[in-house]
Amino acid sequence: MSVGSGFSFLRRILFLGAVWIVITSADADSMVVGAVAVLTAAWLSVRLDPARQYPVKLLGALRLLPGFIWQSVMGGIDVARRALDPRLPLRPGWFVLEAKVPEGTPRVVVGGEFSLLPGTLVAGTRDGRFLVHVLDRTKPVERDLKAGEAALSRAFKQAP
C-alpha cells in the first residue's frame, strides 16, 4: 500500500466510521460490529476504487451541504406531491446533456446531486453525456445541470 493509498484508506475509515456512528446513534453495542464493517468496507473501497486524481476540498464540500440537504427535501416533497395529487401534471421525458466535469468522482457527484433536483434522475452517462430522466420535461433541466456542475466542480481540487 503506497502512502497515497494509505491516506485514502485512513480518510475512508474516518468517513465510514462517522457514518456508522450517525446511523447507530453511537450505540455502544454496535461498535464491535461497526469496527469490523468499517475496516472491511474501507479496505474493499480502496481495492475496488483507488484514490482518484480529483480529491475533494473539505471546505468546498461543506459549502455545498446546505444546498444538498435543501434539494433532498424539496425533491422528496415534489415527487410525493406528484404521486399523490392527480392534478399535478406528469410530463416525463429524457434528456441527453453534455457533461462538463471530468469522468470519475466529479461526474458521479454531479449526477448524484442533480438526481436530487425535484423530478430528476441521472440514469447514467454515455460518451461524456448525462442520461437524465425527468418528471416534467418543460423544466429548465440543462440550465440547472450547468449551475450544479459549476458549483460542484469548485469542490474538487484539480477539476476545471
pLDDT in tens, 4-42: 556 778 888 988 888 888 888 888 888 899 899 999 988
Q: What is the DSSP letter of 123?
A: E
Amino acid identity for residue 8 in this structure: S
Grade residue 94 by pLDDT with cuts at 50, 70 and 90: very high
C-alpha cell at 136: 416534467
CA distance 96 to 140: 13
- The residue among 96, 113, 117, 93 whose CA lies nearest residue 105 is 113
Give the percent of the chain with pLDDT over 70. Answer: 84
C-alpha cell at 156: 474538487
CA distance 49 to 25: 28
70: region left, alpha or beta (phi > 0 left; psi from -120 to 50 alpha): alpha
Range among 27-31, 57-61, 156-160 rated most confident: 27-31
| pLDDT at residue 160 in the model | 43
Beta strands, E only, the chain: 93-98, 120-126, 129-134
